[in-house]
Chain A
Amino acid sequence: MKKFINDPADVVAQALAGVAAAHPELRVEIDEQYIVRADAPRPGKVGLVSGGGSGHEPLHGGFVGPGMLDAACPGEIFTSPVPGQILAATKAVDGGAGVVHIVKNYTGDVMNFQLAAELATEEGISVETVLVDDDVAVEDSTWTAGRRGTGATLLVEKIAGARAEEGGKLAEVAAIGREVNTHSGSFAYALTAGTTPAAGRPGFELPADEIEAGVGIHGEPGRRREKLRPAKELTHAALDAILDAKPFPGPVIVLVNGLGGTPLIELYLIYGEVARHLEERGVRIARQLVGNYVTSLDMAGMSLTLCQATDEMIRLWDAPARTPGLRWGA
C-alpha cells in the first residue's frame, strides 16, 4: 500500500483537520466528527444531514454548503457514523423547522441513523429520513437488505438541498428527495479494488483482463466477474440494466461518476458513449455531470446514474450550490 497517510488509525481525524484548514466557510467539529455550514443553525430552514463511511469523498462532507447539505457525518472509512455523532450534527443544524436525514441503504447506515433519529425526536426535533437505494445491480426484495444507495445520493442531496434552501417545509424537502430516489437507477463497474488504509491491501484481486460488474462503493466484490470489454459495450450494458429496471419515458439527469481511481479522460469517453446510446434509445438528456463525486477510495471504475427528471427537479438541479465539491450559479 502506498498512501499519503501518517497513521492508518487517524486518517479520518487528520483529513477533517485538513478540511477545516482548507474551508473556513465550514465549521469542522473534529472531536464529534461532523462538518457543518458555518452559519448553522438557520432559523426556519429545514436542515439536511447526511453521512456514511469516509472514503467516498467528496460525498458527503464535500457537499456541505448553501444549496446542499447543512451537515455531514463522516464515519470511519467505509463504516457508518455512530448515533451520537449524527445526533450532534442534527442538533447543530436544527433551526426549528426540522431535519432531513439522507441515508444510503446499507444496514449500518440505516441502523445508526434510525437510532440517532429516535434520540433527536426525544429531544423535540422533527426528523424525516430519505433512504437512497438506486443500485439496480442488486435485486429489490423485502426480505433482504434491498438495493444499495450509490450515485443517486448526490442527486438527492442537490435537489432536496435546493428545495430546503428556497424555504421548503420538512415534508416537502423529504418528498422531493424520495421522488428523486424513486426516479433514479445506477450501475457500476470496477477495474481494480480499492485499498483501505486499515487493511493495507486491495479488497479483492482481479486478473488483468477481468472486471467486477455491479459493484457498490465499499470495495466489496460486485455481483459477477466479467472479461474486460471495450468501454462502448460496458456502457451499453450498464445503461440497458438501468433502463430495464426502471421506466425512463421523460428527460433524464445523467451522472457519469468515477470511483476514485479513474481519470476524467475515460469518464468523458464514457459520457460520449452514454449520450449516443441514450439518443439511440430515445431517452433525452436534460442535464449531465461528469466527474469523481461518489467514490470508493482509489478504486478504478465508474458508475452510471440516470434520474428521470420532472421540470421541478431540473429547476432545483439548476439552483445555485456553493460547496467544496459542487458549485454553480453562486
Chain B
Amino acid sequence: MDVALARDWMRAAADLIAADADRLTQLDSAIGDGDHGVNLNRGFTAVVAALEKSPPETVSEVLVKAGATLMSRVGGASGPLYGTALRSAGKALPATAEVAPADLGAALQAGLAAVRKLGGAAPGDKTLVDAFTPALEAFDKAVAQGGGLAEAAGAAARAAEAGAEATVPLQARKGRASYLGERSIGHQDPGATSTSLIFRALADVS
C-alpha cells in the first residue's frame, strides 16, 4: 500500500459511510439512539477534508491523521474507538512511503488491541470488535498464504460482513445497546456494520 492508496481508502470509506448513513442510523435506532450514521458521516467527511488540506507523505501519517480527526470530531463512543483504531494502526507502521500487506495487517492488529483496551469489549459483546476481529484473521491468513493486498482486503471485507451479520442473535454487553438487555437480541450491531464498510472500502480500492 502506498500513500495514494491509503488516501483512496479513507475517501472510499467516507463515500460508503455517506451512502449507508441512513442504514447505520436505522440499525442504531433499534438498539441505540439513532445517530451512528450521522456521527460517522460527519467524522469521515472531516477526515477527507483534513487529508486534502495537508496531504500526508506516508501511509502511517494518513492513518494517524484520520484517527486524530475522528477523535476530535465524532464524539460518542465511535469517535474514540475508531480514532484510536486508526491512530494506533498508523503509529505501528514504518514511516515509509509504501508498506507491505503484512505490515498493514500487523498495524491493524495493533489498532484492534488499542480498541479492545479502550472499550473493554471482547468478541461476542456485540460491538465493532465482532467485525474487526474476523476481518484481521482473514487478512492475515490470506497474506500468510501468499496473497497480495487485494486478496487479503477482499477476504477481510467478507469476514467483517459475516462478523457483523453474526451480531444479530447476540445480547449486547457493551455500549448503549447493553442497557436494553435481552431486547438487544435480534438486531445487527451498527458499529460492527460500519466496521465492515471500512474493510469493504479497503477491498474496493486495493
Contact = CB atoms under 8 A, between A and B. Distances in A.
A interacts with B:
yes
A132 to B, nearest CB: 15
B34 A203 contact: yes
A138 B35 CA distance: 22
Contact of A107 (B25, B42, B74, B119): B119
B174 A75 contact: no
Interface residues of B, number: 32
Interface in B4-42: 25, 29, 31-35, 38-39, 42
Interface residues of A, number: 36
Contacts of B29: 199, 203-204
Interface string B174-206: 111011110100000000000000000000000
A230 B42 CA distance: 43
A53 B78 CA distance: 14
A124 B42 CA distance: 32
Contacts of B72: 82-84
A220 B77 contact: no
Nearest to A141: B173
A216 B35 contact: no
Nearest to A222: B180
Contact of B31 (A80, A108, A144, A220): A220
Contacts, number: 105
* Main DSSP-derived SS at the A contact region: loop
A235 interface: no
B176 A223 contact: no
A145 to B, nearest CB: 5
A111 interface: yes
Most buried by A among B76, B81, B183: B76
Given A108-B75, A115-B71, A78 B35 contact: yes
A218 interface: yes
A76 interface: yes
13 contacts: A76-B39, A76-B76, A79-B39, A80-B75, A107-B77, A107-B174, A108-B77, A108-B79, A112-B79, A139-B181, A196-B34, A199-B25, A203-B33
Given A83-B71, A108-B77, A111-B80, 10 more contacts: A81-B75, A82-B74, A82-B75, A107-B174, A107-B175, A108-B76, A111-B118, A145-B179, A222-B180, A223-B183
Interface of B: 25, 29, 31-35, 38-39, 42, 71-81, 118-119, 173-176, 178-181, 183
